[in-house]
């Protein structure tokens, strides 16, 4: 993980389904503390999600994240992370 995006507000892995954090899943792309706090994510894992127009508008505050977004798999997890604000933004 070379280019890490650090969250303005860290997340906790208990907020997401445990299946996501199994070997070969999203765990390889996350910076996590020993207690399960997610501090950042590898930028390369999010590149296609970050460039989506809806994600840009949500991060800038011009739109709201969908209320019905359920994190069930890797795709929806990365989509959710693309809506979060990062320190470099």
User: Which is nearest to 82 in space by CA: 18, 20, 7?
Assistant: 7
Give the orientation angle of helix 53-60 with respect to helix 74-83, to 10 degrees: 40
Is 89 part of any domain? no
Task: Kindly indicate the confidence band of residue 82, based on its pLDDT and cuts at 50, 70 and 90.
Answer: very high
Q: Which domain holds residue 42?
A: 4-83
Q: Is residue 30 part of a domain?
A: yes
- Cα gap 74→72, rounded to integer Å: 7
- Model confidence over 15-68: pLDDT tens digits? 999 888 887 778 889 999 999 999 999 999 999 999 899 999 998 889 988 888
Measure the CA–CA gap between 87 and 67, rounded to whole angstroms: 24
Tokens representing 81? 């992370």
Mean pLDDT of 61-88: 89
Domain-embedded: residue 48: yes
């Amino acid at each position: 993980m070379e280019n890490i995006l650090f969250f303005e507000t860290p997340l906790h892995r208990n907020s997401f389904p445990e299946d996501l954090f199994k070997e070969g899943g999203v765990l390889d792309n996350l910076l996590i503390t020993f207690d399960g706090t997610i501090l950042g994510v590898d930028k390369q894992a999010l590149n296609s999600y970050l460039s989506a127009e809806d994600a840009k508008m949500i991060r800038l505050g011009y739109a709201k994240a969908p209320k019905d977004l359920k994190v069930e798999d890797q795709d929806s997890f990365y989509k959710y992370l693309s809506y979060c604000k990062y320190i470099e933004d």
